[in-house]
Amino acid sequence: MAGIKGSIVITDDWNGSTPRQLNTLASRFAAQVFAIVEISETVIPELEKKGARHLREATVKISEHLRGKEAESFKEGMQRFMEELGGVDVSTRKSLNIEMEPAAALALAHFVQTAARYAYAGSREDMTRRALLVSLISSFEVLFGRLARVVYMKNKAALNDSDHSFTLEQLAQFDSIEGAREFLIERRLAALLRESIDGWERWLVRACGGLSMTALPVDWPGIRESFARRNLIVHAESIVNQIYLDTVRGLNIPGDTPVKGKKLTVSSEYLKEGAERILALGVILASEISRKLNRGSEGEVIEMLGEEAEECARRGFWGASEYISSHALTWPASRSQRIDIQTCNWLARKMVYGNGAIQSEVESWDTSGLSSSLAHRKNLLLDPAAAVEAIEGLLANGELTAFELAHNPLYEGVLELIAKRRESDTVPD
């Protein structure tokens, strides 16, 4: 993981093609994805709790003005209604006649209408997560549109295949050729974003010298399925149709293919996994476009990739961290950068697949020529307890800070190990 840096750069300059601007664009996109998952994991559980209280509160509110016989009649009617309701499903056709006081009957009818409307809407949890999936895909769409604009602005040849021609009247409305080019870019972007992600892929290959999203180190089948599910949510009330089945056929997605007519849900796990894939795709795609448009400026981009891989690790987005760090390892980098990125990659793979996935690689890592501030990571990855003594030495001479121990996921649990070691040292024999 990256060492301590002595400077901080904050910028909102993201609307351009320089490495820093494209890095900022990628980071903004990642932040939006983090926020979507945060809503899923914090706000939705509270919505679920509130939903469980909703009908109870509705019952109290509906019946609070009933008195005497009316209140008793409503209570008995509710009990009878709930007993008869047991075992009823959407295919049941059943009539129910309950003798009640007029006011109580009116209150019960109001309750039934309230409960029915609540049921019609379905699970609030699933409804909100479906909306979050739509928002996730829309965030990527915005990112892709901005990246496409950068390509058009930087690579004028990308507009050469346009089938749009200007009339003399239209040309007279522009102050300059640049104004006409901007108008043409807007038209091309609008047409491009109306296409499917497969259409975006075809455009990318043509406009960016063969750059392909399907070739990037991400789970492309999973991403395609998320886009197809988003379309189901928006256009078909989440019910599987033939278009969805045609899209996912041949993607080799784990699990059984849902049958036509089934209503798909969006679980917390599904949203998190989809968010990790799409976050990684967006960050990696921005880095590749930056590399193509800014030859010789790879240093700034590799730094962004390392930082985003680390941020994903800090937030527990281990899959995204693995994707991004794996891609970053294919870039030219300084020795220290490569060690930071490799360490991050090993940690992510360890968290996703277990110790066995990295053990042989880490054991064969030759750290003999490295400083202790880097060499201790080998033990840290294989057996954190074996690295405690070296870490205490680094803390003592200022090469490592307590803040990094507390906030760097590479040191997860190390503070507790240090505390136990010091406690055992103070216990008399």
Which pLDDT does position 195 carry in this prediction?
Answer: 93
Q: At CA 25, angle to CA 24 and CA 29, rounded to 5? A: 115
Question: In 10 A of CB 45, how many CB atoms?
Answer: 12
Residues in the chain: 429
* One-letter-per-residue 3-state SS of the chain: CCCCCCCCCCCCCCCCCCHHHHHHHHHHHHHHHHHHHHHHHHHHHHHHHHHHHHHHHHHHHHHCCCCHHHHHHHHHHHHHHHHHHCCCCCCCCCCCCCCCCHHHHHHHHHHHHHHHHHHHHCCHHHHHHHHHHHHHHHHHHHHHHHHHHHHHHHCHHHHCCCCCCCCHHHHHCCCCHHHHHHHHHHHHHHHHHCCCHHHHHHHHHHHCCCCCHHHCCCCHHHHHHHHHHHHHHHHHCCECCHHHHHHHCCCCCCCCCCCCCCECCCCHHHHHHHHHHHHHHHHHHHHHHHHHHCCCCHHHHHHHHHHHHHHHHHCCCHHHHHHHHHHHCCCCCCHHHHHHHHHHHHHHHHHHHCHHHCHHHHHCCCCCCCCHHHHHHHHHHHCHHHHHHHHHHHHHCCCCCHHHHHHCHHHCCHHHHHHHHHHHHHCCC
Which pLDDT does position 1 carry in this prediction?
Answer: 55
Question: In 10 A of CB 67, how many CB atoms?
Answer: 9
> Which of 211, 87, 198 is CA-nearest to residue 147?
211
Which pLDDT does position 328 carry in this prediction?
Answer: 96
- The reported pTM is 0.82
62 vs 75: CA distance, rounded Å = 12
Residue entry with tokens 């975006």: 200
Which pLDDT does position 386 carry in this prediction?
Answer: 87
Which pLDDT does position 49 carry in this prediction?
Answer: 72
228 vs 143: CA distance, rounded Å = 18
| pLDDT average per 10 residues of sequence, the chain (429 residues) | 47 70 94 95 80 72 84 83 60 65 84 72 82 97 95 74 55 63 81 93 92 95 96 95 92 87 94 97 96 87 95 96 97 92 96 95 94 92 89 90 87 83 62
